[in-house]
Amino acid sequence: MTSPTRPNTAPAPAPVPVLELSGIVKEYPGTPALRILHGIDLTVEAGELLAVVGPSGSGKSTLLALLGSLDRPTAGRLRFEGRDLAALTDPDLAALRAHRIGFVFQQFFLLSGLTTVENVATGLLYSGAPVSERRARAVEALRSVGLGHRLEHRPDQLSGGEKQRVAIARALIGRPALLLADEPTGALDSVSGTAVVELLRALNADGTTVVVITHDRELAASFPRRVALQDGHVESDERLPQPTGAGR
């Protein structure tokens, strides 16, 4: 008599973290060498929303450059979606940034001679996509951040909050797994800054992993997770209670 087939009850494999940092050190040559980061251990799971907070000189910008593969650590291991970045060539890292990582900076970095849709389309400039596809996806990205009515405006015709939303749309056009935002509200008034934070929350709720670099402890405390840096060390790593309906 044939035994009945049993269903496969093996547990599903755990999802791979977006970022895994182990013993990360960053120093610059000199006499003596200038060490900025001292053995950072940090894991960021897919779908997280967190803030990295600290005063000027704490190592936030250096950490951002490493998280975004813009620089390489001096020592330690850094993995992105399970891939050891030390094993990748510079062209490999450039491709990773183009397809898997989006960047938003405090200064916007919009080109004054281009319309909003043209600025956003530059996010796909090195993707190999034809012009028609780049424009279509730029329009889609702008609509997703509430700027479908500003497609043909130039940067000098936009408010600060609108410029930052254009920058976010440009970061999102490649549909990245990770969005890195460096002081995204630093150049904005409180109303515009609040709107940008709510947009980041909405993007995270749609599945994008978001890491915000900030010196603003009040802003960091409003996120589900806060990692505090001090003098190149992780001072604390806290998961914070969230108001009902606020983020993930």
The pLDDT, as a whole number, for residue 170 is: 92
- Is 65 within the bounds of a domain? yes
Amino acid found at 139: V
Q: Which residues pair with 53 in a beta bridge?
A: 214, 228
Q: Phi and psi at residue 204, in whole multiples of 5°?
A: -65, -40
Region 49-64: what's the mean pLDDT?
Answer: 94
- Is 27 within the bounds of a domain? yes
Instruction: State which H helix or E strand residue 105 sits in.
Output: strand 101-105
* Beta pairing, strands 49-53 & 178-182: unpaired
The DSSP code for 17 is P
| Residue in the structure block whose two tokens are 């993995």 | 79
The pLDDT, as a whole number, for residue 44 is: 97
Q: Is the pLDDT of residue 248 over 50?
A: no
The pLDDT, as a whole number, for residue 42 is: 97
Go through the chain and tell me how many residues it has.
248
CA separation for the pair 23, 197 (Å, rounded): 31
* Beta pairing, strands 49-53 & 225-230: parallel
What the block records as the tokens of 19 is 């970022």
- Is 4 within the bounds of a domain? no
Question: With contact defined as beta carbons under 8 Å apart, do 45 and 18 qualify?
Answer: yes
- Is 116 within the bounds of a domain? yes
CATH number at residue 83: 3.40.50.300
Region 154-159: what's the mean pLDDT?
Answer: 94
Structural domain range at position 98: 19-239
The pLDDT confidence band at residue 247, using thresholds 50, 70 and 90, is: very low
Q: Is the pLDDT of residue 1 over 60?
A: no
- Is 10 within the bounds of a domain? no
**Percent of the chain at pLDDT above 90?**
66
Residues 6+ apart with CB under 8 A from 82: 16, 17
The pLDDT, as a whole number, for residue 12 is: 65
What the block records as the tokens of 182 is 């460096």
- Is 7 within the bounds of a domain? no
Preceding amide of 32 cis, omega within 30: yes
List pLDDT tens digits, range 80-117: 999 999 999 999 999 898 889 999 988 888 999 999 99
- The number of distinct structural domains making up the chain is 1
**Percent of the chain at pLDDT above 70?**
92
CA separation for the pair 240, 17 (Å, rounded): 20
Greater pLDDT, 127 or 235 = 235
Closest alpha carbon to 209 in 65, 60, 15, 26: 15
- Is 111 within the bounds of a domain? yes
Region 194-222: what's the mean pLDDT?
Answer: 91
Region 198-221: what's the mean pLDDT?
Answer: 92
- Is 6 within the bounds of a domain? no
